């Protein structure tokens, strides 16, 4: 007999091109994690088309709920709460998850917990090992690149972020130049491992005295190099191009992260988000962390780097304990952001 009551979260994630519903036990155990991905559909267009994404989410949403409950072998009566991503993301896509989560919460009289998508990415780490605080997270994905400082489990403070393109966005854009369809992260990573950094692309803002990133200059340098070679009919090594691009991205991410760790000593560094699946970045951070004796590196497992509802449930359980609640008026917030550390100090 189970003497300790289980805390079960039914969680929803529809912020971009994955419809996902999960059931998470006690905040750290995945009972089910259904992910319906639309990648094949958007590959037709070379990137995510928001209206198409919304249309796919509504096709999938209730089927995903059923599958998640069935795989977890639970019923609505077993649930403690419903958690949902309400931002950031594509507004039309977010609204499908938000509306469905509100409907389920109302129908079964369950509390509704609003979750920031990026808090979800960070809390994916919890599905492997407990997070120890203070912690730092480097969140890198198709839409986001930021360093988040967490003094306590429910405090998220941005200390640096991209000024222009997200790292994953830069991968997709240079991928296109190399003839690689979206999502380009994995193929470019693989190509990079077969080449060398021969082009020495610029490391933007690397020497600046802040924790911000910039990738649009790197992207332009890459594109100009390829176009110039095309014009003079010179063939460049795709492997070396990819390796040079990746080395520049990884250098900037790793340097800024190191500097952040020096200023904000933490017990754990979490690498999260879709680009956290990048082998080059994982290898580099694993090497760099060795010089920080009191900081442990937590690499979110590859299966949980992409968008999924399990991570939303993991964050949702924590937020629920801290009293986060939404009512039936909850709306999508496509531009949702954590607060800046500096803002709070003012």
Partner 1 sequence: MKILAIDTSNKPLSVAVMDNDQLLAQTTLTTHRKHAEFLMPVIEDLVKKADLTPTDLDRVVVADGPGSYTGIRMAVTAAKTIANTLGIELVTVSSLLNLALNVQRADVLINPIFDGRNQNMFTGLYRWNHGTIETVIEDQHISLGKWLPAISDYEQPILIIGDTASFEDDMRNVLHSRLLTANPLMGIPSAALLGQYGLAKSPVEDVDAVVPRYLRLTKAEADWKKLHPNEDTHNYVEKV
Nearer to partner 1, 44 or 228 (CB): 44
Nearer to partner 1, 289 or 309 (CB): 309
Q: What does each C-alpha distance from 202 to 22, 78, 166, 214, 221 come to in angstroms?
A: 42, 54, 16, 10, 8
Quote the least distance from Cβ 44 to partner 1, whole Å: 5
Residue 136 falls in which region: left (phi positive, over 0), alpha (psi -120 to 50) or beta? beta
Quote the least distance from Cβ 238 to partner 1, whole Å: 27
Nearer to partner 1, 16 or 270 (CB): 16
User: Which one among 73, 132, 327, 339 touches partner 1, defined by CB under 8 A?
Assistant: 327
Size of the site for partner 1 (CB under 8 A): 47
Question: What does the per-residue mask of binding to partner 1 show for 106-135, with x meaning CB under 8 A?
Answer: xxxx--------------------------
CA pair distance 335, 170, nearest whole angstrom: 20
Query: Does the protein bind partner 1 through residue 216 (CB under 8 A)?
Result: no
Query: Does the protein bind partner 1 through residue 19 (CB under 8 A)?
Result: yes
The answer to whether 84 and 115 are in contact (CB under 8 A) is yes
Q: What is the dihedral of CA 311, 313, 314, 315, to 10 degrees?
A: 90
Q: What is the dihedral of CA 218, 221, 227, 233, to 10 degrees?
A: -110
Query: Does the protein bind partner 1 through residue 70 (CB under 8 A)?
Result: no
Would you tell me which residues interact with partner 1 (CB under 8 A)?
19, 34-41, 44-45, 49, 51-52, 54-56, 58-67, 76, 92, 95-96, 98-100, 102-104, 106-109, 327-332
């Amino acid at each position: 007999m189970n003497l300790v009551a289980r805390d079960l979260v039914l969680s929803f994630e529809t912020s971009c091109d994955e419809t996902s519903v999960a059931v998470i036990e006690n905040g750290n155990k995945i009972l089910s994690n259904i992910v319906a991905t639309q990648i094949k559909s958007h590959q037709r267009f070379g990137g995510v088309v928001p209206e198409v994404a919304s249309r796919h989410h509504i096709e999938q949403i209730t089927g995903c709920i059923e599958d998640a409950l069935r795989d977890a072998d639970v019923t609505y009566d077993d649930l403690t709460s419903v958690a949902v991503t309400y931002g950031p993301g594509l507004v039309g896509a977010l609204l499908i998850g938000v509306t469905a989560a509100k409907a389920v919460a109302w129908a079964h009289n369950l509390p509704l917990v609003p979750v920031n998508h990026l808090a979800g990415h960070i809390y994916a780490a919890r599905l492997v090992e407990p997070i120890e605080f203070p912690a730092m997270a480097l969140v890198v994905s198709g839409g986001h690149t930021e360093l988040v400082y967490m003094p306590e489990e429910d405090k998220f403070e941005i200390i640096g972020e991209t000024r222009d393109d997200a790292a994953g966005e830069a991968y997709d854009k240079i991928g296109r130049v190399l003839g690689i369809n979206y999502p380009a992260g994995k193929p470019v990573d693989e190509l990079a491992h077969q080449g060398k950094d021969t082009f020495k692309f610029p490391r933007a803002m690397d020497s600046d005295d802040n924790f911000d990133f910039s990738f649009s200059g790197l992207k332009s340098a890459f594109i100009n190099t390829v176009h110039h070679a095309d014009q003079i009919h010179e063939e460049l090594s795709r492997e070396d191009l990819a390796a040079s691009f990746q080395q520049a991205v990884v250098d900037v991410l790793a340097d800024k992260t190191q500097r952040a760790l020096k200023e904000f000593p933490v017990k754990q560094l979490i690498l999260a988000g879709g680009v956290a699946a990048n082998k080059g970045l994982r290898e580099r951070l694993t090497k760099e962390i060795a010089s920080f004796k009191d900081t442990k590196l937590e690499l979110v497992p590859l299966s949980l780097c992409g968008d999924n509802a399990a991570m939303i449930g993991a964050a949702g359980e924590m937020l629920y304990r801290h009293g986060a609640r939404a009512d039936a008026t909850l709306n999508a917030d496509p531009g949702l952001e954590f607060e800046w550390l500096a803002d709070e100090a003012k």
